[in-house]
Amino acid sequence: MKKINIILKSSRLLLLSFTALALFNCSKNDEPTTTADPIVVEPVTLNSEINDFIWRGLNEIYLWQEDVPNLSDTKFFSNSDYVTFYNNYGKSDELSQDIVKNYFTFLNDYNTPESLFDDLLYQKDVIDRFSWIEDDYVALENFFQGNSNSNGLDFGLVRLSGSDDVFGYVRYLANNSDASGKDIHRGDFFLTVNGQQLNVNNYANLLFGANNTYTLGMANITNNAIALNGKVVELTKTNFTESPILVNKVIDVGGIKVGYLMYNQFLVNFELELNNVFSQFKAEGIDELVLDLRYNLGGNGYIAVDLASMITGQFEGEIFYKEQWNSKYQAYFEANAPEILVNPFVNELSDGTPINSLNLNKVYILTTDETASSSELMINGLNPYIDVIQIGTNTTGKFHGSVTLYDSPNFEKTGANPNHKYAMQPLVIKATNVNGVSDYYDGLVPDYLITYNTSAGTVEGENLLNLGTLGDANEPFLAKALELITGTTTKFDLDKANKPGVKVEPVASSKDFNTRGSGLIVDFKQIK
């Protein structure tokens, strides 16, 4: 099976950017190459080797490299000087010393790695909303494996209009977690942490600070007002590996067998478990599939290829999605390795295990504004091939992929600088489907929008007063899918469906604090 790979060339095939080695080898103490008097240039010391790593990495492979003047290949010299510098690599001439001085001076203007990184992004938070830098790549790697310091409680944080006070609502409990064994459930509310009222200024520290154990003050909402109910729940964070497969079951509705899967992250180390779920669906002969991605922020791209191939199976070898890189990488791949740019449907996992395919021509996908990246790739990539029925609200609007860069000569982890643990996760590709469809900045629009009524009018999304039980036929999002599948509302409680809700303003969610979310992650591999 072809993995989605990032290619970096140690041989500098594209003559991208001058390396740190070149910079550090050019000093005024080198021997002059002529008999003329030595050139004296006022020395400049590089304050942060992390800043050097950031500039080199973004200049190399960042998707919008050519659109950021400070990342230009000729930022520190003209085109002709660029060639001259390489021809005189490591020699103590005026040109190379001036280049080093200008480069170091530029980097030294930034007091922190984060400030440099942010300044080099292309229209940060407008165009590039998803590149990030991490000061501990061990934590980053753990997150990509589903490992984190967690009690297993997934929640949203909101506030009532006009109030600075914040309250939480439980979305789900991770299986086999500390929270899953406590008296707390989806749809519950909490108002305090360790007896302190949550507000817009303290929620991050109270819920995601150094305290691994805390107590939640539970609450009820009555007549658009929230108040403590006297119940207290204690939770403890531990080193925990969360399975992305939260719920999988077969629901029989009117003689129709419907497979339901709530899948919360595209993780490599749960590839086989995901395939086993589809083996069960296949063995039970399901007629329809509901894929719940409403809290799935993304993950590894080739797991998205796997999942799309499990849903279908009849399109092996055809293009699931295509990649677009920065201009110099794109030109290189088109000329030398065009297969890198396409990602086809497959029939086996990365270890050669045959994929359990359902050969479906239709799938129902549940979405919210936290359905992102690889999740959106599923919808966009499948759309040209089968009938994708999207139910819920608009997705996030992330159609880019990133890669982990380490501070080493070729940006791989092997040989990483031992003096720090910084790593970058910059966006490096734009993903399109086989028809070239992309650029859904406002998210993918559902075919069936889920709304509920409040005293302030109709609101889109999940009704906090009627979240329901995940995987239950009466849960509003799933109930809509079953209604479409059967053409009836036989198991759907219309009174619950029309239950008035409360209008709130979103503040954050627990996923916001899990290493910046995940996004579409692509693998790193070097051409030899």
Q: What is the mean pLDDT of residues 317-334?
A: 94
Q: Do 107 and 73 share a domain, yes or no?
A: yes
Q: Do 378 and 292 share a domain, yes or no?
A: yes
Predicted pLDDT at 19: 32
Q: Do 216 and 249 share a domain, yes or no?
A: no
**Does the structure show a pLDDT above 70 at 440?**
yes
* 3-state SS class at 138: helix
Token pair listed for 122: 């292309």
**Does the structure show a pLDDT above 90 at 177?**
yes
Q: Do 95 and 228 share a domain, yes or no?
A: no
Q: What percentage of residues in the chain have a pLDDT greater than 70?
A: 84
Q: What is the mean pLDDT of residues 209-236?
A: 95
Q: Which of 241, 259, 288 is the last residue of a domain?
A: 241
Token pair listed for 393: 């609200």
Query: pLDDT tier at 6 (50, 70, 90 boundaries)?
Result: very low
Query: What is the spatial distance between Cα 428 and Cα 431, in angstroms, rounded to a whole number?
Result: 10
Residue scoring higher pLDDT (461 or 210): 461
Predicted pLDDT at 2: 36
Q: Do 317 and 458 share a domain, yes or no?
A: yes
Q: What is the pTM of this model?
A: 0.87
Which H/E stretch holds residue 303?
Answer: helix 301-311
Residue scoring higher pLDDT (19 or 160): 160
Packing angle between helix 301-311 and helix 374-382, nearest 10 degrees? 40
Tell me which of 14-18, 132-136, 445-449, 516-520 is least confident.
14-18
Strand ranges (DSSP E) for 30-185? 132-134, 147-150, 153-160, 167-173
Contact yes or no for 276/355 (Cβ under 8 A): no
Residue scoring higher pLDDT (129 or 96): 129
**Does the structure show a pLDDT above 50 at 35?**
no
Q: Do 307 and 179 share a domain, yes or no?
A: no
Q: What is the mean pLDDT of residues 244-250?
A: 98
C-alpha distances in Å from residue 303, one per residue of 134, 379, 522: 23, 14, 10
The reply to whether 134 falls in a domain is no
Q: Which of 211, 241, 271 is the last residue of a domain?
A: 241
Query: pLDDT tier at 10 (50, 70, 90 boundaries)?
Result: very low
Q: Which of 217, 241, 265 is the last residue of a domain?
A: 241
Q: Do 84 and 13 share a domain, yes or no?
A: yes
Read off the pLDDT of residues 48-69 as tens digits, 9 standing for 90 and up.
999 999 999 999 999 999 999 9
Q: What is the mean pLDDT of residues 479-499?
A: 75
Q: What is the mean pLDDT of residues 152-172?
A: 93
How crowded is the C-beta side of 425, counted as CA atoms within 13 Å? 27
Q: Do 217 and 281 share a domain, yes or no?
A: no
**What is the residue range of 341's domain?**
245-503+517-522
For the chain, give the mean pLDDT: 86
The reply to whether 75 falls in a domain is yes
The reply to whether 495 falls in a domain is yes
Read off the pLDDT of residues 256-297 as tens digits, 9 standing for 90 and up.
999 999 999 999 999 999 999 999 999 999 999 999 999 999
Q: What percentage of residues in the chain have a pLDDT greater than 90?
A: 73
Contact yes or no for 425/6 (Cβ under 8 A): no
Residue entry with tokens 């909402």:
221
Predicted pLDDT at 367: 98
Token pair listed for 154: 């997934």
Residue entry with tokens 């490599």:
268
Q: Any long-range contacts for 472-479 (C-beta under 8 Å, 24+ apart)?
A: 473/251, 473/253, 476/450, 476/452, 477/292, 477/294, 477/366, 477/391, 477/392, 477/450, 478/260, 478/290, 478/292, 478/366
The reply to whether 527 falls in a domain is no
Please give the full DSSP string across 344-373, using - where no structure is assigned: E--SB-TTSPBP-----SEEEEEE-TT--T
Predicted pLDDT at 53: 96
| Most confident among 134-138, 372-376, 510-514 (mean pLDDT) | 372-376
Residue scoring higher pLDDT (100 or 33): 100
Q: Do 155 and 264 share a domain, yes or no?
A: no
**Does the structure show a pLDDT above 70 at 83?**
no
The reply to whether 110 falls in a domain is yes
**Does the structure show a pLDDT above 80 at 211?**
yes
Nearest to 207 by CA among 168, 264, 160, 244: 168
Predicted pLDDT at 528: 30
The reply to whether 145 falls in a domain is no
The reply to whether 275 falls in a domain is yes
Which H/E stretch holds residue 239?
Answer: strand 238-241
CATH code of 337's domain? 3.90.226.10
Q: What is the mean pLDDT of residues 451-456?
A: 91
Predicted pLDDT at 521: 55
Q: Do 290 and 400 share a domain, yes or no?
A: yes
The reply to whether 484 falls in a domain is yes
Read off the pLDDT of residues 89-99 as tens digits, 9 standing for 90 and up.
444 455 577 78
Packing angle between helix 301-311 and helix 271-283, nearest 10 degrees? 10
- For the chain, what is the domain count? 3
Query: pLDDT tier at 88 (50, 70, 90 boundaries)?
Result: low
Token pair listed for 346: 């497959």
Predicted pLDDT at 85: 53
Q: Do 34 and 86 share a domain, yes or no?
A: yes
Q: What is the mean pLDDT of residues 66-86?
A: 75
Residue entry with tokens 């005189």:
88
Q: Do 80 and 169 share a domain, yes or no?
A: no
C-alpha distances in Å from residue 8, one per residue of 214, 271, 336, 401, 410: 45, 26, 14, 16, 7
**Does the structure show a pLDDT above 70 at 12?**
no
